[in-house]
Amino acid sequence: MDSQVGVRTVSGSLWRALSALAVPALLMQVVQTIGFLGEVYFVSRLGKVATAAVGLVGELSWLLSTLTTLVTVSTTTLMAQRWGAGDVSGARTVMRAAIAQSVLFGALAFLVWFVRHFVWQSLGADVTVRRTAEVYLLVALLTFPLMNLASGYGAIARGLGDMRTPLFISAAATGMQLGLNAFLTPLWGIAGAAMALAASRLVAVALFVWHFLRHPLTSDTPEVTIRQSDSHRDLLRLGIPAGAQTLLWALASFAFFAMLNRMEEGTAAVAAFTIGLRIESAAFMIALAFAMATQTLVGQNVGAGQWHRAWKGTWQATLWCLVVMIPVCVVLFFGAERLSAHFATDPTTHRYAAAYLRVAALAEPFWALSMTTGAALQGAGDTRTPAFIAILTQWLFVLPLTYAFCLVKGHSPLTAWWLVGASGFLTGVITAVAFVAFGERHGRRLFA
């Protein structure tokens, strides 16, 4: 196998393998977090209405990310398993099918534009916020196929064990977005932020296409086809449950935003939640980086028949994820007031955002536990269990209790923050238990 194609993690030190995967993935998350925070910083200078508008579009984008997850989770898993097994031809076939699905599913996003008024009404957004959000939504939808294609290419690279290429491309795209935000947002308002988003997505796709046109894995098979029936079927078999999980999470968040909007001081609560999520991403990105590394490591080792190595790697990834994350959570907890003050322009938003950060700091280690063990399940080919857990913790816990306490009994958004934090604890514990049960079912292969 050509060493330029990617990295195999099926032998040698697990720590070195995890480091080779997790460090670039973590740096990529740092870069993307800087981009998220930078965007909300520039938009927050326009006021809480603009901040809430970007937050609303962000929630809708999360819903649309179902179309991305349909491809990316299954692509990384299948590419990793084929690469771990040494099946280069199979990896090529999966890659071609993944690119085709990324384009096809990405194009479906624009249909949302025709139901946008229903979406805003469902969210209960203020009329001023709706009007402000429309231009940003239009640009986000028009460029969504570009984002989906870039995500598909990134998933292919991760399955091959190549975390560096997505890192470099993410850095270039984020740099473009921040530079344009600094220049355009003060001039054009939220439309400037939308133009910066579009430019960053275009840069990402252009760089990925340039990279893969020169890639050894595609040098002799440049065509993109939708006729790879077996690969398409395999991608959908794993992708549909993963997409359902994302959809359920997004709809739950969608409903949560709608309930926040219907509370007293709803616009401030939405703006605070948007700010809190962006700042919290400093901890969340660590969990996401280790989850990416875990999925690739487990996928490659399962493909190579190294189940015991996959099991050990999962717990090592979880341990090191917590070691890196907990200091960040300490900063979030004790620095909540100062951190939120940089983004909130009014006292109410500041108070709610600081309270959210303190709760998030306590919950993040459990989210990390859920993400690494959940990624291990996905890497091993089980995408259904995480979807079931999403139903349990979000739809049977957070949403009913938020409705009962905050809308029926009139509690403040602070109660909603604590319910979100409690769901993190539940999700972490349940996912870890599910992974242990998965290990017991495969005990003979794990300890062979």
Angle at which helices 190-213 and 48-64 cross, to 10°? 30
Closest by CA to 59, choosing from 104, 152, 105, 125, is 125
Q: How many residues does the chain have?
A: 448
Beta carbons of 259 and 403 less than 8 angstroms apart: yes
329 Cβ contact list (under 8 Å, min separation 6): 283, 361, 362, 364, 365
Q: How many CA atoms lie within 13 A of 103 on its CB side?
A: 9
Residues 364-383: pLDDT tens digits? 999 999 999 999 999 999 99
Nearest to 352 by CA among 271, 245, 448: 271
Question: How many Cβ atoms sit within 10 Å of the Cβ of residue 422?
Answer: 18
What six digits make up the tokens of 371?
Answer: 């993400």
Per-residue pLDDT at 2? 42
User: What is the reported pTM?
Assistant: 0.84
User: Distance between CA 52 and CA 278 in Å, rounded?
Assistant: 13
pLDDT in tens, 125-158: 788 888 888 999 999 999 999 999 999 999 999 9
Nearest in space to 349 (alpha carbons), one of 272, 418, 264, 262: 272
Q: Please write down the HEC assignment for all residues of the chain.
A: CCCCCCCCCCCCCHHHHHHHHHHHHHHHHHHHHHHHHHHHHHHHCCCHHHHHHHHHHHHHHHHHCHHHHHHHHHHHHHHHHHHHCCCHHHHHHHHHHHHHHHHHHHHHHHHHHHHHHHHHHHHCCCHHHHHHHHHHHHHHHHCHHHHHHHHHHHHHHHHCCCCHHHHHHHHHHHHHHHHHHHHHHHHHCHHHHHHHHHHHHHHHHHHHHHHHHCCCCCCCCCCCCCCCHHHHHHHHHHHHHHHHHHHHHHHHHHHHHHHHHCCCCHHHHHHHHHHHHHHHHHHHHHHHHHHHHHHHHHHHHHHCCCHHHHHHHHHHHHHHHHHHHHHHHHHHHHCHHHHHHCCCCCHHHHHHHHHHHHHHHHHHHHHHHHHHHHHHHHHCCCCHHHHHHHHHHHHHHHHHHHHHHHHHCCCCHHHHHHHHHHHHHHHHHHHHHHHHHHHHHCHHHHCC
Per-residue pLDDT at 1: 40
> Given the structure tokens 């099926």, which residue do they identify?
10
Q: Which amino acid is at 138?
A: L
Q: Do residues 116 and 133 touch, judged by C-beta distance below 8 A?
A: no
Nearest to 81 by CA among 150, 161, 182: 161
Q: Kindly state the tokens that stand for 150.
A: 């870039």
pLDDT attached to residue 183: 93
Asked if 76 and 299 touch (Cβ cutoff 8 Å), the reply is yes
Low-confidence ranges of the chain (pLDDT < 50): 1-4, 221-227, 447-448
| Residue 14, CB-side half-sphere exposure with 13 Å CA sphere | 18
